[in-house]
Amino acid sequence: MRDKLLLELLDFQEIYTKRESPVHRLYRIKSLAERCRRCPLHTSRIQTVFGFGNIASGVMVIGEAPGANEDLYGKPFIGKAGERFTSILRENGIERDRDFYITNVVKCRPPKNRDPEPKEIEACKPYLMAQIEIIKPRLFLALGRYSATWLLGYKHTVSMKEIRGKILISKFGIPMIATYHPSAVDHARSQSQREFYDRSLREDLKLFADKIKELRSK
């Protein structure tokens, strides 16, 4: 029997076959997401945070889920974690609205910023699949272990220590880099842990920036 998720994916397939530009297709799927009631997060959200950035860049950044600021303004990574992320990238010559498209595994804010649950990630999957299908990235950056786990296709959440800092191959066969969620620096329990997260994040985002520049030069 075909489940609801698959039926919805087939709906998306139908959208793909129409002769629309990628921007138009993405806009249509965004408006579906804005009305989404596939999981309980729709009851507490102010709005759906679909994604933002340059869809022609060939680069996709995937975080975990929107926080309070994102829920309020409808744009991913604009709170404290986003500011840290944006400023490290800028130091490396990368501008978020120009050089990549950014979204999350889950498009609605989990209450009190708790981690997204497997059922919520599964319910939101068609939107992320559709974004990937339309944008056709040549490089992913996973921010945090939920995003890294999803992109790698693992069943259990991965240890970031083991996978960060190198080029991996995602379940889509597309290269990816995984790093700590930028908020890890703020949530560190000690000064040495804080320094470790900050250093790792800077190293990994430098690798990401270098990879974007390499892709651009090809």
- Are 194 and 188 in contact, with CB atoms under 8 Å apart? yes
- Residue from 16, 2, 26 nearest 127 by CA: 26
Report d(CA 76, CA 3) in Å as an integer.
30
Give me the least distance between CB of 185 and ligand URA, in Å please.
13
Residue whose Cβ sits closest to ligand URA: 63
53 sits near ligand URA (criterion: CB under 6 A): no
67 sits near ligand URA (criterion: CB under 6 A): yes
- CB half-sphere exposure, 80, CA atoms < 13 A: 6
Give me the least distance between CB of 50 and ligand URA, in Å please.
11
Helix-, strand-, coil-residue percentages of the chain, each rounded to 5: 55, 10, 35
Enumerate residues 157-216 that contact ligand URA by CB under 6 A: none
70 sits near ligand URA (criterion: CB under 6 A): yes
| Residue range at the interface with ligand URA (CB under 6 A); choices 7-15, 74-82, 157-165, 210-218 | 74-82
- Residue from 120, 132, 138, 113 nearest 218 by CA: 138
Between 39 and 65, CB nearer to ligand URA? 65
66 sits near ligand URA (criterion: CB under 6 A): yes
Using CA atoms of 120, 126, 127, 130 in order, give the dihedral in degrees to the nearest 10. Answer: 160
Q: Which of 51, 58, 76, 126 binds ligand URA (CB under 6 A)?
A: 76
φ and ψ of 169, to 5 deg = -110, 125
81 sits near ligand URA (criterion: CB under 6 A): yes
Q: Which of 29, 60, 64, 149 binds ligand URA (CB under 6 A)?
A: 64
110 sits near ligand URA (criterion: CB under 6 A): no
- Residue from 75, 29, 65, 64 nearest 44 by CA: 65
Applying CB under 6 A, the residues found at the interface with ligand URA are 63-67, 70, 76-77, 79, 81-82, 104, 143-144
